[in-house]
C-alpha cells in the first residue's frame, strides 16, 4: 500500500493507497476532532485547502454523538461528507489526557466522561469496535500514552502492556472486518511505538510491534512534555527499526519547524491541532514566520496574511480586515485564519514533497528552518 | 433608478439600479454589522447564497475600525470584498438602542460608546461624513428612532426634528459627493419616515420628506415594541403617500411572515438580523416552518434542514450532522445554519418576485403565510 518513491538522507518521498484515495507523503492530517475542523470549516472547504487526510477523535465521537449513531448514519464519511481518507485515533490519548478518575488494568481503562462524568470502560476490543463503527480508513491501536518525563520502570511495563493490547487490537480488527454489517471491511490498523524518552525501550518496542506486519506504524508518546531535542533523538533512535515499506506517522506533531526536522529524520505523516487552535487565537503561520493578527500594526495593512500564499483568504482579504474582525470578535476572523493556517500546513508538506521530487530537500530545509520558527 | 415592473394589489415587482449593480425587488438585505455576516460568512459566500445587497452598520464601523480607517482602506467594498450594493444605516438606531447616556439636542446626539464609554457626538452632518467615508452605495438619513409605545407629543416633535435633520443630511451629502477625494461620488441618500404608531404623524411626515425627491424612502421606527398588527396598520396608512417611483424599505423587519405581509402592503426592501441571529441559536427557517436544531429528535435524521431547499448546506449535510455540531459547540454548526437561513430569506424574496412575475402572488401568499410562521 505504501510506495517509497525516493529518499534524501533519511527523508522519504512516497505515496500510500487506501480505499478512499491515495495520499502523497510526507503529508499532514487535518484534525476534525468532533467531525469538523474547529473554526467553522466543513468538508466543502477542505479540497480548496489542499487537505489529503482528515483525522477524527474516537474518544470525542464515542461520547457524542456516539459511535453507534455514527454507524447508523453510515460512518464518518457519510456523516461529515469528506470522501478522502480518514484516520481515527484510538481514544487512548484522550482517555489519558482529558478523562478523569481513570483506572488502568490489563483489560483496559475505566474512566469518567469529561462531559458528564459517567463511567466508561475502554480496552483494545472496545476501541476497535468504536473505530469500526466510525468506519475510518485507518484505525489506530489502543495504547497507553505516558507523559514525559516518565519513570523507566513504569514506561517499560506500560510499553509491554501496550504490545499485548496491540495483539488484541489486531485480532479484534480482523474479526470486525469480516462482519457482514461492517461499513469499511478494508479498515486498516496501524501500530503505535511507545517507550517514553528511553531509546532502548523504544527500539525493543518497535522490534516487537513490527512483527505484526501492520499497515503502518506511528511514533506516539512524543510532544507530551519532553523538549524538541529529546523528541528528535528518539525519532533518530527508532527510525532505523521502522519498516521501510510502511508509512510512518509522528502523532500530534507539531510546529512547522518540528515537521521539517522530523521529515528530515524519516517521518511521513503528521497531525496537529496547532494550525486551527493557534488561528483561533489570531496566530497566522506564514513563510516568513508567525504573525499575531491582534497586533495594532495591522490596522491599515493592505497586504494579505502571507505574501507568498495563494490560499482563498490571501487571494481575497487584507491583514487590516482580518485584524478588524479579530478585534470585533467576529467568528469570520477565526474561520479565515484557520483556513489560511490549514492551507499553509498542507502547502508546507506539498513544498517538502516537491523539494524531494526535485532533489533539493536539503536546500529547502536550510532556506526555511529558521524562518518557519520566527515570530514576526 | 427605480423601475416598477408590475403590481399585484399594493405589492410591487421592480428593480433599481445602482453604481454597484441592479437589485431585483422585493429584496432582502443581508446584515453584516461590522463588515461580516455573523456566523463566519465572508463576501466569498454571499453570491452562493443569492445575496443582492449587504447592509453594514455605521455606528459599529465608526467605533471600530473607525470610518477614517475604512476610507484609508478604500471604503467598504474594498475592505469587505463585497462588490454588490451596500447600504449603511445612519447610526441613529444604534445610538438610541445601544449607546448609553445619550443627550439629544437640535444639533444632534451626544452618547457614550458601548465599547469603552468614550463620549461621541453624532448629528446629521457627522452621520453623512461617516457614511461617505464608508463609501456605501446607499446612505440612510440620520433620524431619531422612537420606541413604541410613544407619547404623541414627543413623537410629533421628534418627527419634526428628524425632518429638519433630513434637510441637513441632504445638503451635507450633496456637498460630500462633490469632494475630490470622495470614494463614491454617486452615493445615494434615502429618507426615513417616522411618527411612531400615529397615522396622522406618519402621513404628515411622509408628505414632508417626499418633497426632497430622494433616491428612496424607508419606513423606520417599526418593529420596535408595537404588535405586528399595528405595524401593518401603519404601513397601510403611509404607503399611499410614498412615491411610486422610488424603492420603499421597511427597516429591521422581520420574520418571513412579516416580510410576506409587508410585500402585500407595498414594501420593496427589508433587512433583519433574524436569519443570522436565530441560526446561531440553532433555529433553521424552512418552507414548512422553523426548526430548533437542538432538538434530540434530529439525532438520527438524515434529511437536509429543509427538503425543499437547494442551498449548499441542504445539498450536502444532514440534520443529524448539524444537530451533532450544535450539541458539540462546534462553530461549524452556526456557520451552516446561518448559510441556510440567509439563503432561505433570499430565496423567499426570489419566490415572491417570481410569483409577482407569474401573476400568482395572492396564491403564493395564501399557500405560504401560515406555514412560514409555524414551529415544527
Annotated binding site of B: 89-93, 143, 194, 221, 309, 311, 314, 340
Same domain (yes/no): A34, A90: yes
pLDDT tens digit string along A98-136? 777 789 999 999 998 888 889 999 999 999 999 999 999
Same domain (yes/no): A207, A347: no
Q: Is residue B81 within 8 angstroms of chain A, CB to CB? A: yes
* Given A45, A67, A89, A215, the catalytic residue: A89
Instruction: Choose the final residue of a domain: B272, B297, B320.
Output: B272
Instruction: Determine whether the interchain pair A44/B312 forms a contact, defined as Cβ–Cβ distance below 8 Å.
Output: yes
| Phi, psi angles (nearest 5°) of residue B207 | -60, -40
Nearest chain A residue to B63 by CA distance is A328
Give residue A95's pLDDT.
83
Whose cell is 428628524? That residue is: B162
Same domain (yes/no): B54, B186: yes
State how far the Cα of A31 lies from the Cα of A56, in Å rounded to an integer.
Answer: 6
Q: Is residue A35 within 8 angstroms of chain B, CB to CB? A: yes
Q: Which helix (H) or strand (E) holds B135?
A: none
Q: In angstroms, what separates the C-alpha of A330 from chain B's closest C-alpha?
A: 7
Instruction: Determine whether the interchain pair A73/B318 forms a contact, defined as Cβ–Cβ distance below 8 Å.
Output: yes
Q: Is the peptide bond before B254 cis (omega within 30 degrees of 0)?
A: yes
Which is more confidently placed, B183 or A1? B183
Q: Is residue B44 within 8 angstroms of chain A, CB to CB? A: yes
Work out whether strand B27-31 and strand B53-56 pair parallel, antiparallel, or are unpaired.
parallel
* Given A67, A215, A268, A271, the catalytic residue: A271
Q: In angstroms, what separates the C-alpha of B74 from chain A's closest C-alpha?
A: 10
Q: Is the peptide bond before B65 cis (omega within 30 degrees of 0)?
A: yes
Query: What secondary structure letter does DSSP report for A73?
Result: T
Instruction: Choose the final residue of a domain: A244, A272, A300.
Output: A272
Tell me the β-bridge partners of A37. Answer: A41
Question: 3-class DSSP state for residue A272?
Answer: strand
Q: Which of A65, A324, A335 sits opposite B64 (nearest CB)?
A: A324
**Domain extent at residue B259:** 2-272
Annotated ligand binding at A169? The verdict is: no
Q: Residue B270, by phi and psi: left (phi above 0), alpha (psi -120 to 50) or beta? A: beta
How many Cα neighbours within 13 Å face the side chain of B202?
Answer: 24
Q: Is residue A277 within 8 angstroms of chain B, CB to CB? A: no
CA R_g for chain B: 20
Question: 3-class DSSP state for residue A114?
Answer: coil
Annotated ligand binding at A314? The verdict is: yes
The chain-wide mean pLDDT, for chain B, equals 96
Give residue A232's pLDDT.
98
In A283-330, alpha helices (H): 312-316, 319-327
Q: Which helix (H) or strand (E) holds B247?
A: none
* Average confidence (pLDDT) over A271-297: 97
pLDDT(B209) > 80 = yes
Q: Is residue A40 within 8 angstroms of chain B, CB to CB? A: yes
pLDDT tens digit string along A202-231? 999 999 999 999 999 999 999 999 999 999
| Phi, psi angles (nearest 5°) of residue A187 | -60, 130
Give residue B92's pLDDT.
86
Residues 98-137 of A with CB under 8 A from B: none
Instruction: Please list every residue in chain A whose beta carbon sits closer than 8 Å to the beta carbon of residue B324.
Output: 34-35, 64-65, 79
End-to-end CA distance of chain A: 41
| Buried/exposed code over B39-50 (b: 16+ C-beta within 10 A; e: otherwise) | bbbbbebbeebb
Q: How far out from the chain centre does Cα B40 lie?
A: 19
* Average confidence (pLDDT) over B66-73: 98
Q: In angstroms, what separates the C-alpha of B64 from chain A's closest C-alpha?
A: 7
Same domain (yes/no): B139, B245: yes
> ipTM for the complex?
0.97
Among A37, A60, A313, A335, the strongest candidate for a mutation testing the B interface, having the largest count of B CBs within 10 A, is: A335
Inter-chain contacts counted by CB atoms under 8 A, chains A and B: 121
Instruction: Determine whether the interchain pair A299/B39 forms a contact, defined as Cβ–Cβ distance below 8 Å.
Output: no
State how far the Cα of B83 lies from the Cα of A71, in Å rounded to an integer.
Answer: 44
* Average confidence (pLDDT) over A61-84: 98
Same domain (yes/no): B315, B184: no
Instruction: Determine whether the interchain pair B320/A39 forms a contact, defined as Cβ–Cβ distance below 8 Å.
Output: no
Instruction: Determine whether the interchain pair B42/A316 forms a contact, defined as Cβ–Cβ distance below 8 Å.
Output: yes
- With both helix axes pointing from N to C terminus, report the angle between A256-264 and A331-357 in degrees, rounded to the nearest 10: 20
State how far the Cα of A175 lies from the Cα of B138, in Å rounded to an integer.
Answer: 67
Same domain (yes/no): B155, B242: yes
Give residue A114's pLDDT.
87
Q: In angstroms, what separates the C-alpha of B61 from chain A's closest C-alpha?
A: 10
State how far the Cα of A55 lies from the Cα of A71, in Å rounded to an integer.
Answer: 17
pLDDT(A289) > 90 = yes
Catalytic residues of B: 89, 271
Same domain (yes/no): A203, A56: yes
Same domain (yes/no): A201, A319: no
| Phi, psi angles (nearest 5°) of residue A245 | -100, 20
The chain-wide mean pLDDT, for chain A, equals 96
State how far the Cα of A124 lies from the Cα of A162, in Å rounded to an integer.
Answer: 9
Instruction: Please list every residue in chain B whose beta carbon sits closer than 8 Å to the beta carbon of residue A321.
Output: 35, 73, 79-81
pLDDT tens digit string along B229-276? 999 999 999 999 999 999 999 999 999 999 999 999 999 999 999 999
Q: Which helix (H) or strand (E) holds A347?
A: helix A331-357
- With both helix axes pointing from N to C terminus, report the angle between B199-210 and B152-177 in degrees, rounded to the nearest 10: 20
Looking only at Cα atoms, what is the longest distance across chain B? 61
Work out whether strand A11-18 and strand A2-8 pair parallel, antiparallel, or are unpaired.
antiparallel
State how far the Cα of B63 lies from the Cα of A285, in Å rounded to an integer.
Answer: 29
Q: How confident is the model at residue A29 (pLDDT cuts 50, 70, 90)?
A: very high
State how far the Cα of A192 lies from the Cα of A14, in Å rounded to an integer.
Answer: 20
Q: Is residue A318 within 8 angstroms of chain B, CB to CB? A: yes
Q: Judge whether A73 and B301 are in contact, CB under 8 Å.
A: no
Q: In percent, how much of chain B has pLDDT > 90?
A: 93
Q: Which of B37, B65, B335 sits opposite A299 (nearest CB)?
A: B65
State how far the Cα of B325 lies from the Cα of A34, in Å rounded to an integer.
Answer: 8
pLDDT tens digit string along B346-358? 999 999 999 999 9
Same domain (yes/no): B213, B361: no
Q: Is residue A10 within 8 angstroms of chain B, CB to CB? A: no
What's the domain count of chain A?
2
Q: Is residue A299 within 8 angstroms of chain B, CB to CB? A: yes
State how far the Cα of A28 lies from the Cα of A164, in Å rounded to an integer.
Answer: 29
* Average confidence (pLDDT) over B77-87: 98
Nearest chain B residue to A34 by CA distance is B328
Same domain (yes/no): A236, A286: no
End-to-end CA distance of chain B: 41
Same domain (yes/no): B252, B298: no
Same domain (yes/no): A143, A285: no
All three cell numbers of B112: 457614550
Q: Judge whether A241 and A206 are in contact, CB under 8 Å.
A: yes
Give residue B43's pLDDT.
97
Q: How confident is the model at residue B147 (pLDDT cuts 50, 70, 90)?
A: confident
Instruction: Choose the final residue of a domain: B221, B246, B272.
Output: B272
Instruction: Please list every residue in chain A whose beta carbon sits closer than 8 Å to the beta carbon of residue B81.
Output: 316-317, 321
Amino acid at each position: 500500500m505504501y510506495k517509497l518513491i525516493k529518499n534524501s538522507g533519511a527523508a522519504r518521498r512516497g505515496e500510500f493507497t487506501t480505499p478512499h484515495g491515495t495520499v502523497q507523503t510526507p503529508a499532514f492530517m487535518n484534525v476534525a476532532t468532533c467531525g469538523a475542523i474547529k473554526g467553522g470549516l466543513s468538508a466543502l472547504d477542505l479540497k480548496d485547502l489542499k487537505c489529503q487526510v482528515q483525522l477524527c477523535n474516537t474518544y470525542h465521537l464515542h461520547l457524542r454523538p456516539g459511535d453507534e449513531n455514527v454507524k447508523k448514519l453510515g460512518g464518518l464519511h457519510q456523516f461529515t461528507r469528506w470522501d478522502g481518507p480518514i484516520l481515527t485515533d484510538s481514544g487512548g490519548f484522550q482517555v489519558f489526557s482529558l478523562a478523569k478518575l481513570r483506572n488502568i488494568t490489563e483489560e483496559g481503562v475505566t474512566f469518567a466522561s469529561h462531559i458528564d462524568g459517567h463511567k466508561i470502560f475502554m480496552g483494545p476490543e472496545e476501541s476497535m469496535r468504536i473505530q469500526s463503527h466510525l468506519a475510518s480508513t485507518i484505525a489506530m491501536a489502543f495504547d497507553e500514552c505516558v507523559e514525559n518525563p516518565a519513570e523507566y520502570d513504569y514506561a517499560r511495563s506500560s510499553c509491554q502492556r501496550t504490545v499485548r493490547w496491540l495483539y488484541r487490537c489486531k485480532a479484534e480488527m480482523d474479526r470486525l472486518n469480516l462482519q457482514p454489517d461492517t461499513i469499511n471491511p478494508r479498515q486498516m490498523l496501524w501500530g503505535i511505538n511507545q517507550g517514553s524518552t528511553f531509546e532502548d525501550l523504544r527500539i525493543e518496542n518497535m522490534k516487537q510491534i513490527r512483527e505484526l506486519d501492520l499497515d503502518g506504524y506511528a511514533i506516539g508518546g512524543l510532544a507530551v512534555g519532553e523538549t524538541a531535542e529529546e523528541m528528535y533523538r528518539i525519532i533518530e533512535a527508532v527510525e532505523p527499526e521502522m519498516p521501510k515499506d510502511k508509512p510512518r506517522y509522528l502523532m500530534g506533531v507539531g510546529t512547522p519547524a518540528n515537521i521539517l526536522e522530523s521529515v528530515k529524520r524519516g517521518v511521513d505523516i503528521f497531525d496537529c491541532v496547532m494550525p486551527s487552535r493557534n488561528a483561533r487565537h489570531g496566530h497566522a503561520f506564514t513563510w516568513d514566520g508567525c504573525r499575531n493578527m491582534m497586533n495594532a500594526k495591522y490596522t491599515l495593512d493592505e497586504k494579505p496574511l502571507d505574501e507568498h500564499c495563494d490560499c482563498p483568504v490571501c487571494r481575497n482579504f487584507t491583514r487590516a480586515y482580518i485584524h478588524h474582525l479579530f478585534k470585533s470578535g467576529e467568528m469570520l476572523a477565526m474561520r479565515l485564519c484557520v483556513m489560511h493556517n490549514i492551507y499553509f500546513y498542507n502547502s508546507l508538506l506539498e513544498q517538502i514533497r516537491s523539494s524531494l521530487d526535485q532533489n533539493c530537500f536539503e536546500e529547502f530545509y536550510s532556506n526555511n528552518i529558521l524562518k518557519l520558527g520566527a515570530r514576526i
